Structure 1
Amino acid sequence: MTTNERPKIGLLVVDLDDTLWTWFDAWYESFSSMMMELQKATGLSREELLPAIKSMHEQKGTAEYSWLLDELPILEPFRAGRTAREVFDSVLHAQNSARKYNTVLYPGVMSTLRYLKANNVTVVAYTESLSFWTEWRMRTTGLDGLIDVLYSSPDHDFPEGETKETVRTLPNEEYGLKRTIHRGVARGIAKPNPQILKEIVAAHAVAGRSVI
């Protein structure tokens, strides 16, 4: 397609993880960094930690559970009633640094989305990933506003006694999306889900133009 041609599509529906950006690489590198620092901080072995973490991930239904270090029973002797931020700051720093460094767009994604935006193509993203980390990746990769509407799974519940306000460590303007509209889907819905896709097309299709 040359830059002088206008696309004939009106709506593009895309996945995000390992489609527009590197989800697995970022998760693997951040998890590996966390594990390495956690072993140093606790003296626990990988063989002791992995089954406990796997069990927690299965219980919460996600490998991106934000309060993993706060709730792992095997870490309770080290926490002793304190939060993970108080006890495992170096561990969380290593995890977050690796996550940010490795969360990048695939080549051509940014230029393609800018081209579609300039030609009035509506771009809708649909992901199974949780709301908080999806918004973080959107901000980190610069896609807030280039994607018109985001559909994602809701976040996991906050730990007892915590709220969105109490767990935030940055100013409120550092959270959420400023230009992309964010809509949730019901908890537990897995892709591919024909009904969700039908709803997206019904809500966002452009008359006289095709859907991809």
Structure 2
Amino acid sequence: MLQYETLITDFDNTLYDWVDVWSTSFLAMLGEMEPIAQVPRDELLRAIRSVHQKHGTSEYAFLLQEIGANRLFPDEEREKALHYAALGYQRGRASSLKLYPGVREALLKLRSKGIPIIIYTESLEIYTNGRIIDLDLDGIIDVVYSPPNHDLQAQQNEQISLLGEGRRSLKATKHRYLPAGVTKPNPEVLRDIIAEIGANPATTMYVGDSPMKDVAMAQEVGVLDVLARYGQAQHRPEYEILRMVSHWPDVDVEKERHNLQRPVEASVIIDSFEEVVRYFT
């Protein structure tokens, strides 16, 4: 078996359960908002989706600030309700954010072998770096590639920020920006990452949970594609509410549903992240 020398991995739903973190946080927030909202649930969800699409992310830190500006809540209750909604979101995130079983052990084994570990994610820097810190991966991951942030300087009310804190910086892991607006699958971006870190595509492994975004991209670039089957969440009930409020365009949602019926065939399928270790010297 060919031994590999570089690991590039997706982050969300590959190293940790992003859908669980998102849904736990979002539903806790929604539970605080619904009782006092002046509009039906469907209209509230449409307003949320509009904000997500405007900013190109389904976890926009200042969602509550923009929702509040839409006058969906009574004036006398608005600030209090949004503050509690933010606290609900933060508690949900804190209770659900954890690595998949075996991930930390596998990453540490790879580091002990001197294997470069690279994250390539679509999540914006402020969310990605915060999770790397909270998951105690700063220094275990060598480099993380993610898109730049929103214009956070334009935001004012930290009391109803979903983050609960400002931007946090990594101490050991290096952060490098992807071009703004670029999404997966993008073979050219993956090729650029491989070239920048000085890796050989023939001995590089790419791991991700999405046949459409990860596997097909890795195959086009010519690296070993590995499907993290344990991270696939499209059939879980909570994924449907994500589709309802996501920043994804409708065409992408339908494309994903279509691809679920005719998935790309992965070269390697794993049911635990630990399985990647045996491919490295």
Match status 1:182 vs 2:169: no
Could you tell me which residue of structure 1 aligns to residue 23 of structure 2? 28
Could you tell me which residue of structure 2 aligns to residue 203 of structure 1? 196
Give the Å deviation of 1:161: 6.3
> Tell me, what secondary structure is at the counterpart of 2:5?
strand
Q: Is the 8 A contact 1:11 1:205 kept in 2?
A: no
Residues 123-142 of structure 1 mapped to structure 2, 5 A cutoff: 123-142=117-136
Q: Is the 8 A contact 1:11 1:204 kept in 2?
A: no
> Kindly tell me: are residues 161 and 123 of structure 1, through their superposed partners in 2, closer, same or farther at Cα, counting changes over 3 Å?
closer
Deviations 1:1-59 (A, max 9, x none): xxxxxx94321000001011111111111111100101234454422311111111112
Deviations 1:65-108 (A, max 9, x none): 1111111243366468xx95x65221111101101211211111
Could you tell me which residue of structure 2 aligns to residue 75 of structure 1? 71
Deviations 1:132-176 (A, max 9, x none): 111111111111111100000111122636599xx8975x8x822
> Tell me, what secondary structure is at the counterpart of 1:105?
coil
Could you tell me which residue of structure 2 aligns to residue 4 of structure 1? none
> Kindly tell me: are residues 130 and 104 of structure 1, through their superposed partners in 2, closer, same or farther at Cα, counting changes over 3 Å?
same
Q: Which piece of structure 1 moves more, 45-54 or 90-99?
A: 45-54
> Kindly tell me: are residues 77 and 33 of structure 1, through their superposed partners in 2, closer, same or farther at Cα, counting changes over 3 Å?
closer
> Tell me, what secondary structure is at the counterpart of 2:70?
helix
Match status 1:13 vs 2:2: no
**Corresponding residue pairs, total:** 200
Could you tell me which residue of structure 2 aligns to residue 97 of structure 1? 91
Q: Is the 8 A contact 1:150 1:180 kept in 2?
A: yes
Q: Which piece of structure 1 moves more, 46-55 or 125-134?
A: 46-55
> Kindly tell me: are residues 143 and 161 of structure 1, through their superposed partners in 2, closer, same or farther at Cα, counting changes over 3 Å?
closer
Alpha-carbon separation, structure 1, partners of 2:52 and 2:190? 27
Could you tell me which residue of structure 2 aligns to residue 116 of structure 1? 110
Alpha-carbon separation, structure 1, partners of 2:42 and 2:197? 48
Could you tell me which residue of structure 2 aligns to residue 3 of structure 1? none
Instruction: Work out the percentage of aligned pairs sharing the same amino acid.
Output: 33
Residues 135-174 of structure 1 mapped to structure 2, 5 A cutoff: 135-158=129-152, 160=154, 162=156
Give structure 1 stretches of 5+ with no counterpart: 1-6
Q: Which piece of structure 1 moves more, 67-76 or 123-132?
A: 67-76
Q: Is the 8 A contact 2:29 2:85 kept in 1?
A: yes
Q: Is the 8 A contact 1:26 1:103 kept in 2?
A: yes
CA RMSD of aligned residues (A): 3.0
Alpha-carbon separation, structure 1, partners of 2:72 and 2:181? 29
